Amino acid sequence: MSGSKSSSETEEGLAFQPSFDASGLVTCVATDAKTGDVLMVAHMNEEALRRTVETGDAWYYSRSRKALWRKGESSGQVQRVLEMRTDCDQDAVWIKVEQQGAACHTGRRSCFYRAVAKGEGAGIRLAFVDAERLFDPAEVYRAKA
Amino acid sequence: MSGSKSSSETEEGLAFQPSFDASGLVTCVATDAKTGDVLMVAHMNEEALRRTVETGDAWYYSRSRKALWRKGESSGQVQRVLEMRTDCDQDAVWIKVEQQGAACHTGRRSCFYRAVAKGEGAGIRLAFVDAERLFDPAEVYRAKA
């Protein structure tokens, strides 16, 4: 949280003043507006936020590619934003979206296609859940290869 | 993503090998298991993850207080974890929880109690939604004041 803004203004105010991190980003959680499932966790910079609010399409900032991207611009799997909310300290946003096809670049509906097994000890295991591929990444991203 | 792990192992493997960031953290999204609403976005370090998996209570790492904390240890508003999932690149986890009372330190059920208004231009406004307080922070955190 920025030291220049009071806690009460950030938490109780009605001005959207995102608290960007050192890299200029806020965390964005996208959920399926119908099911409530978390589809993906990604990041937005100021420009991605602005474009998302203005256009109603989800825009993100890729930390690995260091580039702004409109979700679905390569894959066609766009996200229409039905509602955006921010949290108490304004360093995260939650968007409820209509997801075209699959959110994950692996072709799954959600990036969260593996459950963490309960239990003790080292070597925690995962199990696939809702992991059916809705598209073939090799096909969809062929132009990028 | 760590350079020591292959992309396919991280994305398609069944070993839980969280990709901690430079601060040793992964992002955690907690949703209400009943409604699908996002309750909060916070962080877990390796120890918080381990305790969460082992105990079924949500543990986090506070970046501001630089301390491990069990959700609800001050407020009583604990989170029982019904399911944990990780995402494709294993740098985020999603927990579906039974939230006792309110998740937000402001007393609201969810930290996301303000909607971002659609539209163009500077000065984007917020509007309260689902912002009823379930507890009085001044009362609940009195011992900490």
Cβ contact, residue pair B116, A93, below 8 Å: yes
> Is A14 within the bounds of a domain?
yes
Nearest CB partner across the interface for A36, out of B37, B114, B123: B37
- pLDDT tier, A1 (very low <50, low <70, confident <90, very high otherwise): very low
Cβ contact, residue pair B16, A116, below 8 Å: yes
pLDDT confidence of residue B5: 61
Mean pLDDT, chain A, rounded, equals 92
ipTM of the predicted assembly exceeds 0.95: no
> Is B2 within the bounds of a domain?
no
Average pLDDT over residues A83-101: 98
Residues 6 or more apart whose Cβ sits within 8 Å of residue B119: A53, A54
Cβ contact, residue pair B123, A14, below 8 Å: no
> Is A132 within the bounds of a domain?
yes
Given the structure tokens 């305790």, which residue do they identify? B51
> Is B93 within the bounds of a domain?
yes
Asked if pLDDT for residue A138 goes beyond 60, the answer is yes
- Its domain, for residue B44, covers 7-144
> Is B12 within the bounds of a domain?
yes
CA distances from B12 to A66, B29, B86 (A): 25, 21, 11
Nearest CB partner across the interface for A87, out of B13, B92, B112: B112
> Is B1 within the bounds of a domain?
no
Provide the CA B145 distance to its chain's centre, in angstroms. 24
Given the structure tokens 């120890």, which residue do they identify? B47
Interval B111-129: pLDDT, tens = 999 999 976 666 899 999 9
> Is A2 within the bounds of a domain?
no
CATH assignment of the domain containing A38:
3.10.20.810
pLDDT confidence of residue A37: 98
Nearest CB partner across the interface for B125, out of A14, A29, A35: A14
- pLDDT tier, B91 (very low <50, low <70, confident <90, very high otherwise): very high
The helix or strand, by DSSP H or E, that contains position A79, with its residue range, turns out to be: strand A79-86
Tell me which chain B residues have a C-beta less than 8 angstroms from the C-beta of A87. Answer: 40-41, 104, 111-112
Interval A9-56: pLDDT, tens = 999 999 999 999 999 999 999 999 999 999 999 999 999 999 999 999
The residues with which A115 forms a beta bridge, in sequence order, are A127, B85
Provide the CA A111 distance to its chain's centre, in angstroms. 10
Q: How many domains, chain B?
A: 1
Higher pLDDT, A7 or A113: A113
- pLDDT tier, A5 (very low <50, low <70, confident <90, very high otherwise): low
Mean pLDDT, chain B, rounded, equals 92
- pLDDT tier, B6 (very low <50, low <70, confident <90, very high otherwise): confident
Asked if pLDDT for residue B79 goes beyond 60, the answer is yes
The answer to whether A117 and B22 are in contact (CB under 8 A) is no
Pairing of strands A79-86, A67-70: unpaired
Asked if pLDDT for residue A4 goes beyond 60, the answer is no
Interface with A, mutate which of B7, B9, B118, B125 (most A CBs under 10 A): B118
Asked if pLDDT for residue B144 goes beyond 60, the answer is no
Average pLDDT over residues A94-111: 97
pLDDT confidence of residue B1: 39
Asked if pLDDT for residue A140 goes beyond 90, the answer is no
Given the structure tokens 């096909």, which residue do they identify? A139
> Is B110 within the bounds of a domain?
yes
pLDDT confidence of residue A19: 97
The answer to whether A15 and A105 are in contact (CB under 8 A) is no
